[in-house]
Structure 1
Amino acid sequence: MRIAPMADERNGKVCLGVVTGAHGVRGLVKVKPFTAEPESVAAYGPVETKDGARRFAIETKGMAKDLVICRLEGVTDRDVAAALRGTELYVPRERLPQTDEDDEGWYHADLVGLLAVGIDGKAYGRIVGVENFGAGDLLEIAPEDGGEAVLMGFTDENVPEVDIEGGKVVIDPPAGTFGDEAAAGAPDA
């Protein structure tokens, strides 16, 4: 089971989802889940904001397409629910279950900070995030030299090895991903 593309490693929290808006007039919220099973967004106890300033008991009430309808303790009307739009919901990392050996053995949050190394040994940078905009997971890799981060599809072909213990992922980026091969096959000027 892999959970949460976002993590705040400084305080050991993992983001289970983000509030996308209000649902109805009684304070329910729609949550985009980052959990393998959408309903699991409420399975790990109370959630809190990234800064820890607000804490909510959370209860799943249903589904609406790919969003989970939830009740957050203390949120009783539409205006309060609507004001939470964009709020990321975190739990402490230790509340998450241990990964199974049958599974990949890691969460998306575990990838953040790992070195991205090519199959040829070339260091491409560090993983700064795992995103999903609806068409599959993407690794966000920031070059060590401070250049602009690159998004690369998180597929078995592009990422043949994840080595959490070794602090790296081995990648085989498609041509042009990092710009150095962008001109491959182009005629010389």
Structure 2
Amino acid sequence: MLEIASGSGQHVCYFAPHFPNVLFQPSDMDDRYVKSINLYIDHFKLCNVKKALKIDVRSDISSWNLPNEFQPKQIDYLLSINMIHISSNAAVDALFKRAGSLLSSKHGLLITYGPYAMNGEITPQSNIDFHRSLISTDPEWGLRDISLLNEKAAVSGLYVQKVHDMPANNKMIIFGRQPIS
């Protein structure tokens, strides 16, 4: 599982012991987070987590220095937690483009997590307030609509497979290769 925008590393260090047969490759574009991730990996002595890579999803995949296990069309899972709502449009577009290039052509999945709008509507009020706060920080940030994300994903041959409601008004969206009618 390649994780894009791993942040501090807490998520990968939580998931790794629960999925001992999965090899995790965390990454982040911020050097401070790459260092934090590696400190967490060392602290928890996780043998199924590779050292974090510095990856800006907007950059070309050839510059990512991916290990052999994570080459294009060989990745089963790409994970992105709490990235989409605090990213530029270019970064969101790049996430889908890179996922389309990296994921296995048969069963690869892009799994995203965070707050989203649905059918043009943001609910509840706390998410509306959060959205306003985000766009006041950066006009390109904010809660993206799932239908818009599905359109962006489709350009790279990915489609929403399932949307799961999660705690704190977040959602997990699973994108795969097959369109759902």
| Higher relative helix content | 2
Q: Same fold (TM over 0.5)?
A: no
TM-score by length of 2: 0.28
For the pair shown, which has the larger CA radius of gyration, 1 or 2? 1
TM-score by length of 1: 0.28
